[in-house]
Amino acid sequence: MDPIIQGFSLLLELDNIILITLGVLIGVMVGALPGLSSPMAIALLTPFTLSLEPIPAIAMLAALYCAGTFGGSITAILINAPGAPPSVATALDGYPMAKRGEAGRALGLATVASVCGGVISLFVFIVAAPTLAAIALQFRPPEYFALAVFALSMLAAMTGKSSLRNLIAGGVGVLLATIGIHLTTGVERFTFNVPELDEGISFVPVLIGLFAMGELLSQSSTLNKVVEQIQAKTMKLPTWAELKSLRNCILRSSGIGTFIGILPAEGSTVAAIVGYNEAKRFSSKKEEFGTGTPEGIVGPEAANNAAAGGAMVPTLALGIPGSGSTALILAALIMHGFRPGPYLLNETPEFLYAIFGAMLFANFAFLAIGLVGAKFFSLVTLVPKQLLWPSVFTFAVIGAYSSSSSFVDVYVMLIAGLIGFFMNRHGFGAAPLVMGLILGKLVEESFSQSMIIYDNDFLAMIESPIVLFFFALTLLNLSAPFWTGFKNRKKQNAAA
C-alpha cells in the first residue's frame, strides 16, 4: 500500500500536475496536426526533460504518449488525414460520419472509446507489470539474450511495406548500437577517432533526426497540398443507450488492443486495424462499415488506446519496448539514470504507480479537453506547414545540442534525418531502427555475458527451457511471412 501512496503523492504536487497536463495538451495538439506524431514529440521533448526530476519527466512523456494516440483521431475524422498512424482505421468511418454533419458525434464516440480502452489497459498494466517483473527476476543473461532476439524477430510483424524491410531496419539499428567501446573487451569500434563516440551514439540526436528531421523532409513535398476541412463546433458524447449497444465492441477491442500492445514490437497501429476488422466481423451491420457507423469508430479507437497501456508492460517490466513510442520512453528512462526491467519495479515500485497515475490522469484529461476544446482543436488542423516545420527544425537542433552540449550530436541528428528520409521513401520504417538501436546493446551485452558463463559454448544456452522457448518463438515469427505468402499464392493459383 505504501508504494501506491508514494507514487500518487508524487503526482499530487502542483508542478507535476502542470507538467502532466502540459504533456496531454502537447500530445493532443501534436496528434491533431497532420504530419506530426507522438514519437516525434517525445523525441523533441526528451532533451528538455533532462533538467526535470526523473519521475515527473517520464510521467509527462507517458501522458503525451496517451494523448497523442487519441489526438490523431481528430484529423482522421475532420479532414480524412490521420494525424497519427493508429488513426488510419478511424478515418474509414469517422470521416463519412463528419461529412454528413455529425462531426461532433464522431469525435464524442472516438473520445469515449479512447478513454475506455486506455483505462481498461491501464488496470491490466498495473496487474501484469509486477507479475511479469517477478518472473523476469529469474532471468539470467542467456534468457535476456533469447528474449531480446525474440523481440527483434517481432519487427517482422510491424506495420510497413514488408517484413524484410522491417528486419533490415532493425538490423541497421543493432549495428549502430555497436559503435563505441565494447564493455567486455574494451575494444573501440567505429569511433573514427571521435572522442564523443567512445560511449556510443546518443539516443536523443538519432531519435530527433529519424522522427523529426526525416518527417520534415518527407513533408516538404506536401506544403501546398489542400485538404477539405470540416469544423466541429462542439463534441457530442454518446448517450447511455448508444454506449450500451456498443459496450461489447469496446470491451472486445480493448482486450485485443491490450494483448497486442503487450507483445514486443507491436503497437497501436496493428491494434487499431485488428480492432476495426474484428468490430466488422462481429457486427450485424457489416454493410454499413465505411459509411459512418459508430462501431467503425469505437472499434479501432478503443484498440489503439488500449495498446498504449499494454505496450508499457514489457517496456517497464522487461526493458523491451512494446512499440515505437515506448522505445523512445525507454530511451528517456535510460538517460534519466533508470535501468528498465524487473529490478526497477521491485526496487522502486512507487515509480510504477506514478506512471500508472499519470496515464490514468491523461486519459480523463483528454476527455475534458475534448469537451471544452473541440472547436479549438479543429482549428489547429489549419496551422500552415510553412510556419510549422521551421519551428520543428529549430527545436530539433536545440534538442540535439542540449542533450550533451555537443555539436557532434547535431551532426548525428542531421545525418539521422537524411537516413530517415531515404528510409521512409523506400519503405523502411524508423521505428524498427530505433528498436534495434535500443535492443542492440541488450543483445550484445547479454550474449557476451552468456559466453563467459558457458565458456563460449553457444549450444549450452539451449539447455535452459526458457531460452529454447524464446528461440522457438523467434523461428515461428521469422517463418510466418513465408507461410503467409505461400498460402496467399496458393489461394491465387486456385482462384486462377
In the predicted model, what is the mean pLDDT of residues 9-22? 83
CB atoms within 10 A of CB 178: 15
Q: Is the pLDDT of residue 433 over 80?
A: yes
Left (φ > 0), alpha (ψ -120 to 50) or beta: where does 178 sit? alpha
141-145, 182-186, 369-373, 398-402: range with lowest mean pLDDT:
369-373
Percent of the chain with pLDDT over 70: 85
Q: What is the average pLDDT score of the chain?
A: 79
Domain edges within the chain = 2-482
What DSSP string runs through 235-264? --PPPHHHHHHHHHHHHHHHHHHHHHHHST
In the predicted model, what is the mean pLDDT of residues 129-153? 82
Place of cell 484498440: 303
pLDDT at site 124? 87
For 157-177, the pLDDT digits (tens) are: 555 567 778 888 888 888 888
Crossing angle of helices 14-32 and 349-380, in 10° steps, is 50
What DSSP string runs through 111-149? HHHHHHHHHHHHHHHHHHHHHHHHHHTT--HHHHHHHHH
Q: Is the pLDDT of residue 226 over 60?
A: no
pLDDT at site 148? 83
Place of cell 519496448: 321
Q: What DSSP designation does 161 have?
A: S
In the predicted model, what is the mean pLDDT of residues 52-78? 82
CB atoms within 10 A of CB 105: 22
**Residues 395 and 216: beta-carbon distance below 8 Å:** no
Alpha helices in 137-219 (DSSP H): 141-153, 163-176, 203-208, 214-219
What is the pLDDT confidence band of residue 1, given thresholds at 50, 70 and 90?
Answer: low
For 340-381, the pLDDT digits (tens) are: 777 777 777 888 888 888 888 888 887 777 666 656 665 655
pLDDT at site 161? 61
Q: Is the pLDDT of residue 496 over 70?
A: no
Beta bridge partners of 181: 188
How much of the chain is in helix, strand and coil states, percent to nearest 5?
Answer: 75, 0, 20
Hey, what's the cell of 230? 470540416
d(CA 126, CA 340): 16
For 293-322, the pLDDT digits (tens) are: 889 888 888 988 888 888 888 888 888 877
d(CA 116, CA 48): 31
For 266-285, the pLDDT digits (tens) are: 567 778 878 888 888 888 88
Q: Is the pLDDT of residue 395 over 80?
A: no
**Residues 163 and 398: beta-carbon distance below 8 Å:** no
- CA distances 46 to 267, 269, 313, 396, Å, are 21, 23, 21, 11
What is the pLDDT confidence band of residue 156, given thresholds at 50, 70 and 90?
Answer: low
Choice between 253 and 205, residue whose per-residue pLDDT is larger = 253
Q: Coil, helix or strand for 181?
A: strand
Q: Coil, helix or strand for 400?
A: helix
**Residues 42 and 311: beta-carbon distance below 8 Å:** no
pLDDT at site 485? 65
For 402-430, the pLDDT digits (tens) are: 667 778 888 888 888 888 888 878 878 77
d(CA 19, CA 60): 6
Hey, what's the cell of 378? 479543429
